[in-house]
């Protein structure tokens, strides 16, 4: 029978229990234990299936919030692709990426990151996202991948590259260290979710994005405010 809970419609756990789940989720137990949902279940005395159900709807809301962000990134923007899954053959971004999940990312220096799973690293794919997610007056930093050729034709007059293939990683203010740091954070976090269903990957990726973008905030309070304004819905 549903119980009163202002954060969840048709909830089957109390508001106090839900707050406890959110608090433990916010503390990111994946940093200290292999199976965080098991630990949350143990600490809250809520069954594992119920905990997993709530964690899934929380991540779905985080995904929705990311997709609803319509304001373009403006300023100094780093762009890059990364490969999740099996080891990538160095230097291969096409056939060498077979069997892996390709993620494209844009990071505004000192601020937020946006990530998107892509089918390939072709110019049409990457530049469509850049045009849709950044202001044309932004300064774009990338590596030397040919997929970024021609950005100037779309009005991006300030596009600077570093050529990793020539062992050039920093040239003055030109580098993509910020987005590469995010990739390291995301991979270090996601590798702990061994045996993850590939269908769940985007939810966990967007959770990494959300945690990074709110790294200076109290994530517990941020989430409670989000769910207070628009309660979660359990199917």
Domain residue extents for the chain: 76-184
Integer Cα distance of 198 and 203 in angstroms:
10
Average pLDDT over residues 84-95: 58
3-state secondary structure of 89: coil
Report the CATH superfamily, name and number, of domain 76-184. Answer: Ribonuclease H-like superfamily/Ribonuclease H (3.30.420.10)
pLDDT value for 98:
66
Integer Cα distance of 197 and 195 in angstroms:
6
- Lowest average pLDDT, out of 78-92, 94-108, 126-140, 147-161, goes to 78-92
Residue by residue, DSSP assigns 58-90 as: HHHHHHHHHHH--SPB-SEEEEEEEEESSPPPT
Instruction: Give phi and psi for 117, each to the nearest 5.
Output: -70, 135
What pTM does this model have?
A: 0.89
Residue by residue, DSSP assigns 107-166 as: EETTS-EEEEEES---HHHHHHHHHHHB-TTSEEEEES-GGGTTGGGGT---EEEE-GGG
With cut-offs at 50, 70 and 90, classify the pLDDT of residue 169: low
pLDDT value for 164:
73
Counting Cβ atoms within 10 Å, is residue 231 exposed (0-12), middle (13-18) or buried (19+)? middle
pLDDT value for 191:
82
- Helix, strand, coil shares of the chain, percent, nearest 5, are 45, 15, 35
Measured CA to CA in angstroms, residue 129 lies from 65, 91, 102 at distances of 17, 22, 14
With cut-offs at 50, 70 and 90, classify the pLDDT of residue 99: confident
Strand partners, 87: none
Judged against a pLDDT cut of 70, whether residue 16 lies above it is answered with yes
The one-character DSSP state at 167 is T
Residue 125 token pair? 């794919």
Counting Cβ atoms within 10 Å, is residue 5 exposed (0-12), middle (13-18) or buried (19+)? buried
**Residue found by looking up tokens 């959300």 in the block:** 210
Pick 181 or 163 by higher pLDDT: 181
**Residue found by looking up tokens 């946006």 in the block:** 114
């Amino acid at each position: 029978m549903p119980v009163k809970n202002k954060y969840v419609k048709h909830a089957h756990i109390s508001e106090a229990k839900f707050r406890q789940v959110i608090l433990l989720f916010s503390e990111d137990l994946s940093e200290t234990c292999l199976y965080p949902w098991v630990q949350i279940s143990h600490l809250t005395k809520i069954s594992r299936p119920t905990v997993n159900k709530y964690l899934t709807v929380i991540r779905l809301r985080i995904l929705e919030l990311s997709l609803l962000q319509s304001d373009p990134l403006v300023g100094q923007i780093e762009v890059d692709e990364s490969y999740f899954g099996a080891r990538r053959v160095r230097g291969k971004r096409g056939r060498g990426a077979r069997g892996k999940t390709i993620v494209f990312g844009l990071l505004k220096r000192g601020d937020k990151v946006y990530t998107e799973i892509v089918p390939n690293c072709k110019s049409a794919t990457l530049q469509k996202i850049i045009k849709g997610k950044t202001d044309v007056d932004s300064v774009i930093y990338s590596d030397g991948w040919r997929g970024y050729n021609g950005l100037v034709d779309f009005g991006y007059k300030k596009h600077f590259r570093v050529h990793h293939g020539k062992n050039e990683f920093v040239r003055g203010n030109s580098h993509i260290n910020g987005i590469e740091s995010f990739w390291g954070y995301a991979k270090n976090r996601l590798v702990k979710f061994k045996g993850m269903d590939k269908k769940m990957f985007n939810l966990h990726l967007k959770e990494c994005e959300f945690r990074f973008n709110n790294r200076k905030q109290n994530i517990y309070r941020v989430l409670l405010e989000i769910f207070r304004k628009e309660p979660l819905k359990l199917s």
